[in-house]
Structure 1
Amino acid sequence: MTYANFLQILLGLPITIALTGVAFLVGAILGFPLMLARQSKIRVVRILTLALITLIRAIPPIVWLFIVFFGVGVAAVQMSPFVSAAIVFGIIATVNMAEIYRGGMISIHEGQWEAARALNLGHRHTFTDIIIPQMFRVSLPSAATYAIGLLKDSSIASTIGVIDLAYRGSMVSQMTFKGLEVFAVVGVLYILISLPIAWLSRMADYRLQTRVAR
């Protein structure tokens, strides 16, 4: 494979990073209120939220891509492939992050709530100063693992025309007839993107543990 071919593949790198970053950011933000709804004391809200999460997670991402891009994008609101993919992966990330947050929330011992009540802390201060920091620390490794998985899953966006690493790799492979060589390079690039995510996760977890230990 020539240097020019490598540069052609590399042009898809910013799109892959952008798609993964946007989707994960949407999920990290919207996943929190969805988790609160999932934990609501109102039974109807809990049931509806659980049904929504189950529905979104039950359907493969590629099917959602086709529904949004070829269905909604054609019949209702015209959207570019990138916007369609960002919406789909953002929604999927939201429900997955909600479950990750919920896992972090239920892992906190009941004694934390009891200690806060004994200190006469209000519900808001208990939640924001004690519960949420611990929840995020517990959720961080799972969130980082999901971010890496999301990075890999984003490659299927190439099926609707998002010009990411997978799309560029397929294009160069068809031009050069060197599929193994080309997709080996694409695979290495995905690994190289994943490594900083894992490293940042470990650093953030270390900092949070150090802060808690003080």
Structure 2
Amino acid sequence: MNAADLLVFIRGLAWTTALTAGSFAIGAILAVPLLAARRSRLLPVRLAAGVLIQIVRAIPPILWLFIIFFGLGMSYFPINPFVAALAGLGLIAAANMAEIYRGALSSIHHGQWEACAALDLGRWDTMRDVVAPQAFRVALPSAASYLIGLMKETAVASTIGVTELAYQGNQLSQLTFRGLEVFAIVGLFYIFLSLPVAWLSRLADAHLRSKVAR
């Protein structure tokens, strides 16, 4: 692999990193109101949120990208491939993160809510000071695992022309006819991307375990 090939991989790596981080951030933020709807006391709202989450998770990521880029983008308004991929993967991340949040909140014993109510703590104070720190610790390993999985899912963005790592690898393999070598290097880049996430999540989890009651 020469310097020119390395530059190709680095460009793809930058787009993969940007797409992963952007999609995860969108998902982590949108999951909060989605979770609120999922836990609503109003049955229609709760059911609608549950159905939406199931629909989003049931459709393959590549199909969501096709719907957004080829369907909406070509039929109604032009859309950039990266923006389409960001929207599609961000939508999927929101549905999955909402379920991760919901599982983390469900793990908090109801007695803690009752104790906070007995201490006359408001719902917001209870969530912010008591429940959320514990739920965050519970959600962290699952969120980190999903982030690693999301990074690998970004490869589907190559199908709509996003020049991320898999796309660059495919282009380079067609130019050089060294497919095994090229894709082995692409695989190594994905490994190098995932290892820091796994390491940081374990480090954060260990820190939270020492600070937050189980």
Once the two structures are TM-superposed, the CA of residue 184 in structure 1 deviates from its matched residue by: 0.3
2:200 matched to 1:211?
no
RMSD, aligned CA: 1.0
SS in 1 for 2:41: coil
Task: State the alpha-carbon separation in 2 of the partners of residues 55 and 8 from structure 1.
Answer: 37
1:202 matched residue in structure 2: 202
Q: Deviations over 1:17-42 (max 9, x none)?
A: 00000000011111111111101110
- Identity among equivalent pairs (%): 55
1:167 matched residue in structure 2: 167
CA contact (8 A) 1:148 1:197 kept: yes
1:95 matched residue in structure 2: 95
1:54 matched residue in structure 2: 54
CA contact (8 A) 1:9 1:172 kept: no
2:98 matched to 1:72?
no
CA contact (8 A) 1:113 1:126 kept: yes
Between the two proteins, the alignment pairs up a number of residues equal to 213
Task: State the alpha-carbon separation in 2 of the partners of residues 84 and 171 from structure 1.
Answer: 21
How is 1:5-16 mapped onto 2 (pairs within 5 angstroms)? 5-16=5-16
1:108 matched residue in structure 2: 108
Task: State the alpha-carbon separation in 1 of the partners of residues 20 and 92 from structure 2.
Answer: 12
Task: State the alpha-carbon separation in 1 of the partners of residues 126 and 6 from structure 2.
Answer: 53
Task: State the alpha-carbon separation in 2 of the partners of residues 209 and 61 from structure 1.
Answer: 34
Once the two structures are TM-superposed, the CA of residue 2 in structure 1 deviates from its matched residue by: 3.1
Give the residue type in structure 2 aligned to 1:166: A
Once the two structures are TM-superposed, the CA of residue 189 in structure 1 deviates from its matched residue by: 0.2
- Normalised TM-score (structure 1): 0.96
Give the residue type in structure 1 aligned to 2:196: P
CA contact (8 A) 2:137 2:205 kept: yes
Q: Deviations over 1:49-85 (max 9, x none)?
A: 0111111111101011111000101111211100000
Once the two structures are TM-superposed, the CA of residue 141 in structure 1 deviates from its matched residue by: 0.3
